[in-house]
Amino acid sequence: MNYQKLITEVYGDVQQMGLCGKVASYIPELASMNVEKFGISLITTDGTVYEVGDTYEKFSIQSISKAFTLAMVFATEGENLWKRVGVEPSGNPFNSLSQLEYENGIPRNPFINAGALVVTDIIRTKSEVPLEDIIKYIHSLANSNTIASNKKIALSELKNSSRNKALAYFMKSFGNIESRIDKLIETYCYQCAIEMTCTELAQAFLLFANHGKNPTTREQLLTTSQTKRINAIMQTCGFYDEAGEFAFKVGLPGKSGVGGGIAAVLPGKFSVVVWSPGLNQKGNSLKGMKALELLTTKLGSSVF
């Protein structure tokens, strides 16, 4: 397979469609992003890199960070993790409060905000420097020491974090959060404000394409079973209430973020990251969704 030809064709096809979308204006620091930016990076499990477009510009990975924190916690907590967070699709917006009330403070899955807060809470209870440990983990996967959290974006999110605080306080009332809420939200906002390029993110996401092995060191960070389960959760829950459509049209495990990034994997073959800040009505990259749909269509292959 000529992957460079494939992604170049996909890039050109999407550009001709004139798709735009809207940036995530509810986070003021993200509202100024240029919707014209568009990049695709694909890295095979043997480490070969294919790129087209704006693949070396840093962007805020936002909720894609939840895949990495989930991997960190699942590796240490094992099956105990699922006592505090479920694995079912939510079918509701990522910051919904309603499900928590009738499910007694147990989030539906680790990728909605409530579930990600529980995962970050577990990291906080075991680490004196949780944010540093999260970034160090991603550094190792991406083989890069230039990855950092954007303070302006983090502070912008902190100023607009009332809903996340409400989620955290509600779960704390059920005993499902241990941290101080202000400290938890701070860590979470800085975690989401981590910035990476398409290529750095694709390199780090090889963890999920490569059966749980660190793509840089080849260390087995997750068991093959744990990797399979994380990929399954990404497939069913990685795109909030658009997860079914992504599975139908693209057919790859993946995770999106409101910074415009989408990371996905074809296990055993490659990881792919698409970035374009313009979002659709469900909060996923408009160009990114179309690009990945075309990629698997032209490739004639997916997990199905």
| Per-residue pLDDT tens digits for 65-93 | 999 999 999 999 999 999 999 999 977 66
Q: How far is CA 147 from CA 30, 62, 126, 142, 171, in A?
A: 18, 13, 23, 9, 31
pLDDT interval class at 31 (50, 70, 90): confident
174: in domain: yes
Query: Based on the structure, what is the number of domains in the chain?
Result: 1
Where residue 289 sits, what CATH number does that domain have?
Answer: 3.40.710.10
Q: Is 49 in a helix, a strand, or coil?
A: strand
pLDDT at 300 over 90: yes
Which is nearest to 20 in space by CA: 35, 10, 30? 35
pTM (predicted TM-score): 0.96
d(CA 51, CA 152): 28
- For residue 95, pLDDT over 80 is answered with no
Can you read off the two tokens belonging to residue 289? 């969704």
**Does residue 304 lie in a domain region?**
no
Which alpha helices (DSSP H) does 130-175 contain, by range?
A: 130-142, 151-159, 162-173
Q: What percent of the chain has pLDDT over 70?
A: 98
* In-domain check, residue 75: yes
Q: What angle do CA 126, 214, 154 make, to 5 degrees?
A: 55
Instruction: Inform me whether the pLDDT recorded for 94 exceeds 70.
Output: no
The first and second tokens of residue 136, run together, are 């160090």
**289 assigned to some structural domain:** yes
Separation between Cα atoms, residue 218 and residue 22, nearest integer Å: 39
Q: Above pLDDT 90, what percent of the chain?
A: 88
Name residues whose C-beta falls within 8 Å of residue 177's C-beta, 6 or more positions apart in sequence.
Answer: 117, 118, 121, 168, 171, 184
Range of the domain at 70: 3-299
Q: Which residues pair with 261 in a beta bridge?
A: 275
CB atoms within 10 A of CB 2: 9
The CA-atom distances, in angstroms, between 302 and each of 46, 253, 265, 266, 292 are: 19, 9, 9, 7, 11
Predicted pLDDT of residue 277? 96
Say how far apart CA 201 and CA 122 lie, in whole Å: 24
